[in-house]
Structure 1
Amino acid sequence: MKKYLEVLSDLEQKMNHGQFVSGQKLPSVRNAAKHYGCSVSTITRAYAELENNHSVYSIAQSGYYVVEKQRNRPNVSESNRIDFASTSPDPSVFPYLDFKHSLDKALDTYKFDLFTCGDSKGMETLRHTLISHLAGEQVFAKVDWITITSGANRALEILAKMPFPNGNSVILVEQPSYDLYLRFLEAEGIPVCGISRSTAGIDLRELEEKFIHGGIKFFYTMPRYHNPLGTSYSADDRRIIARLASKYNVYIVEDDYMADLGEERGMDPIYSYNATSHVVYLKSFSKIIFPGLRLGVAVLPEKVIETFYEYQRYADTSQLSQAALEVYIQNGMYERHKRKISKQYAARIIVLNEAVKKHNAAGLLQISEVQSGVFIQFKMPQKVNLERLVERLAAMNIFVVSGKQFYLSGYMEREKFIRISISRAQPEQIEAGVRMIIEEVGREVKSPF
């Protein structure tokens, strides 16, 4: 890591932990250089970065001072709420000031251009920026293959409705899978069928049979940090899925919506293993920055690009949001925030795993082995009444999501589980929440009804 980044990180930690409080003057540039054992120019750069982030402000001939932070009013009802249901990022880690800086810089840079409708493919400068950004995920793409959409859901809707070059019509989905997309496919009357996926993975022989005989247009999959299971396919499974797609001319729609939340080795996407352009790669930025940003990226095979734009019809994303995201990525703020939120979520999952080990001695729950991401599956004994369990937990101010909604309406081979999300669950609440869930499951098992 560059020295100025080490200094910057240390100063930010001290401000976050109250060692430097609102209005306090930072050490002079020379004193700070002596303290950190670096040059004056390194400190100047770190202080300038803090000022750009609105963490400090400077007064000529005086020095740098810590910006006064807004104090959130305590909310009694919120503090008692244990939220294992929400999927959006924790508001306490939203990068408001960083993104405000990016918005200001975008306005200064692009001015009036930001208030036009723009290209339906997205801003060309952002798409060029995304070439190197995606390459970091082993997704190597040309600028013409990249399109910006108003969130990954918009791309999923277009892909579901448009024809594909293989001439097939059925969409294959994992079961369980992303509930909103399943409801969309059913509401639109789009041909869809399911294939079972568990925390252990997927039956690749069954997948091959469906590719051969199922008339599959594309296979929709979340290979990393699956919603609702939380698990990821092994590298071998991803490699085999890529090979089967090429062999049987079936497309893969790879929803890599949480690509930024883990750094495990061997976690390259299916896209990186496919040499025949049979993978549509999707990524969302809302899970890292703000849910309301509504920006996603699709990397399209050349054979489907023209049809995709025919069905998209018009630009549906804000030019200002795109320009701000471009600045946010280019100046390194995205990478820094990604690491921050990824570490925070990983720490919460560690707390949750330890709580399960402590309170699940009777083995009432089976949980997915997850070390990063957001979701974990709590698999229940068959005797448990899920609806009643969810209601009883809600009455105790513990909010979870029943696994039933993550299946197609007619799909019968269902596991009984609740989905746990740690994105809004505060670390100090997690153990108590897990303990009360296990206690309620125990009561359900003993119930005569």
Structure 2
Amino acid sequence: MKNFMLYEGDTLYLQLYNCIREKIEKGELTTRLDSIRKTASNLVLSPSTVIKAYELLEKNSYVTSKKGSGFYITYHQQHTFYPEDYMKNEDFKYSYFNEECAIDFSSASPKSNLFPIEKLKSAIIDILNTEGEKALLYENPQGNIKFRNIIKKELETLKIKTSVKNIQIISGAQQGINLISKVLIQSGDTVVTEEPTYKGAVTSFKENGGKIYPVPLEDDGINIEKLKEFLKYNSVKLLYIIPVFHNPTGVSLSGEKARILIELARKHNFYIVEDDSSSDIYFKNRIKPIKSYDIYNRVIYIKSYSKVFMPGFRLGFMILPQEITQSVVRTKYSTDISTSGLNQRIFSYFMENKIWDDYTDQLRKEFSKKQNYLYNKLKTVPHISFEKPDGGLSFWIRLPCEITGEAVYFKLLKEGVSIIPGTVFSPNYIEYIRLSFAQCSYDDMDKGVTKLTEVLEELIDLNI
């Protein structure tokens, strides 16, 4: 263990912890750790730093100490939290020994009992009666023209002007990100992201040769000064950003910063990829997308409906700059020919008949109550810190006393409660967890917060 990866911003013991943890998970360490003295000597660290890292590994069930013998690896794959699973599917449900958790604080999609199933049935019957087999054929690769016209009209209410020629229908936000990566990213190109962020996007950019530069978030969005400093000396191809009810933090970008980002994109010749999956779930005033400030056509706007409307439906759209539209259409065709024509017609029906508006109104009322309820429950939990977002479906919680999100994750799983550790979104956010109330009943929230309190008390006692 003569080399380990440094994570900017981590203290030394956390850097060492992350390095050893990764080596264990990859199978590079399988039996026991070097002695504390040997590791300290090899890495020129104090023994106390190594001890803290080893103790953290033991707390998170990676190793077990044997008095007078050392630290032995007790990590088992079936107990392990895999961030890459979450990268592939943001609503992946974590389980312990493949059993579903009774209380789900991990999924950020609404419970299925809220879906307008009866209206969906009526829509399908009406469409098939009207269009017959045509509704089941391959659709135009760019998307159904009627659906795109309806989207264009809806966008005007958000002060976004575009042509139907620049609207591309996609099968969810992840496909949109993948298409943009394939079209725009070449080996060595730099992509700036917020930190923390959605790792599915990071993975896509890296797979296409991109280099990632993370910029930390502030209370009103990405740190503009750090971004400006980086842009002074570096060329950037894309800025990937989740500006409204950011996942996982819930932070929203201010209008002032949105205008500055547009000017920076023009000045430094990069595109802004705006990922919008949660802006419909607002509890105060609706927040304008960055695209509504885009006077230079530098924003690629990706809107997913799947987050709040039947995740398996897989539907969304992109607004593209004219110069890349045809390249994206060709890439989309080579990927899956087209997005389901029937699904596009169903959603057109929902939007035309105000079913979509009624549904999102219902969600906002339901989730505003749930957010308030969980917020008040969490305020009773000692030592944690968190903010109350103006929308979205989650809380981003900082844990006390150097307790890690992974430790809380493992212990809660054994109690039938699932959460998301902060390391899913960035290795630097080891002391954070994300709790979503999307799938929870009020009784679930009561029991889940009680379990969380008990687990934190246990871990705090171990840490003293």
Bin for the TM-score computed over the shorter chain:
0.7 to 0.9
Match of 2:212 among 192, 205, 214: 192
**How many angstroms does 1:113 deviate by?**
1.9
The answer to whether structure 1 residue 296 and structure 2 residue 316 are counterparts is yes
Which residue pairs with 1:251 in the alignment? Answer: 271
Letter of the aligned partner of 1:420 in structure 2? Answer: L
Letter in 1 for 2:341: Q
Deviations 1:269-320, CA, capped at 9 Å, x for gaps: 1111120000011111112321111111101111221222232234331111
The verdict on how the C-alpha distance between 1:196 and 1:84 changes in structure 2, with shifts beyond 3 A counting, is same
Partner of 2:53: none
Correspondence 1:274-285 to 2 at 5 A: 274-285=294-305
- Shift of residue 264 of structure 1? 3.3
The Cα shift of 1:405 comes to: 1.3
Aligned partners of 2:392, 2:286: CA distance in 1, in Å?
16
Tell me if the contact between 2:101 and 2:418 (Cα under 8 Å) persists in the aligned partners: no
CA distance in 2, matches of 1:167, 1:187: 9
Where 1:260 maps in the other structure, the secondary structure is coil
**Counterpart residue type for residue 127 of structure 1:** R
Alignment match, 1:368: 387
| 2:177–2:204 contact (8 Å) kept in structure 1 | no
How far apart, CA to CA, are the structure 2 residues paired with 1:247 and 1:312?
Answer: 30
Task: Flag the 1:129–1:444 CA change in 2: closer, same or farther, 3 A.
Answer: same
SS at match of 1:349: helix
Pairwise CA distance, 1:123 = 0.4
SS of the equivalent of 2:238 reads: strand
The TM-score, its normalising length taken from structure 1, stands at 0.76
Which residue number in structure 2 is paired with residue 343 of structure 1? 365
Counting only pairs closer than 5 Å after superposition, residues 20-35 of structure 1 correspond to structure 2 as none
Q: Contact between 1:243 and 1:274, CA under 8 Å: does it hold in 2?
A: no
Partner SS, residue 352 of structure 1: helix
Alignment of 1:27-426 (within 5 A): 81-163=102-184, 169-199=189-219, 201-262=221-282, 264-265=284-285, 267-314=287-334, 315-357=337-379, 359-360=380-381, 362=382, 364-407=383-426, 413-414=428-429, 416-426=431-441
Q: CA deviation at 1:79?
A: 11
Q: Deviations over 1:323-344 (max 9, x none)?
A: 1111111011000001101211
1:436 aligns with 2:451: yes
Unaligned regions of 5+ residues in structure 1, if any? 1-77
Q: How far is 1:125 from its partner?
A: 0.7
RMSD, aligned CA: 2.4
The offset of 1:198, in angstroms, is 4.8
SS at 2:184 equivalent: coil
Secondary structure of the residue that 1:261 maps to in structure 2?
A: coil
Distance 1:413 1:86, change over 3 A: closer
**Distance in 1 of aligned mates of 2:361 and 2:100:** 26
Q: Which runs of 5+ in 2 are unaligned?
A: 1-98
After superposition, the C-alpha distances for 1:403-449 in whole angstroms (9 at most, x for unaligned) are 10112xxxx64352011111101123213322331332232122148
TM-score (norm 2): 0.74
> Aligned partners of 1:388 and 1:328: how far apart in 2?
44
Q: Cα gap change, 1:200/1:332 in structure 2, threshold over 3 Å: closer, same or farther?
A: closer
Distance 2:168 2:311 in 1: 19
Shift of 1:163: 2.5
Residues 445 and 187 of structure 1, relative CA distance in 2, 3 Å threshold: farther
- Give the deviation of 1:400 after TM superposition: 0.5
Is the Cα–Cα contact under 8 Å of residues 167 and 217 in structure 1 kept in the other structure? no
**How many pairs align?**
365
The alignment partner of 2:273 has SS state of strand
Specify the SS of the correspondent of 1:377.
Answer: strand
Shift of the 80–207 alpha-carbon distance from structure 1 to 2, 3 Å rule, reads closer
Q: Percent identity?
A: 24
Equivalent position SS for 2:396 = strand
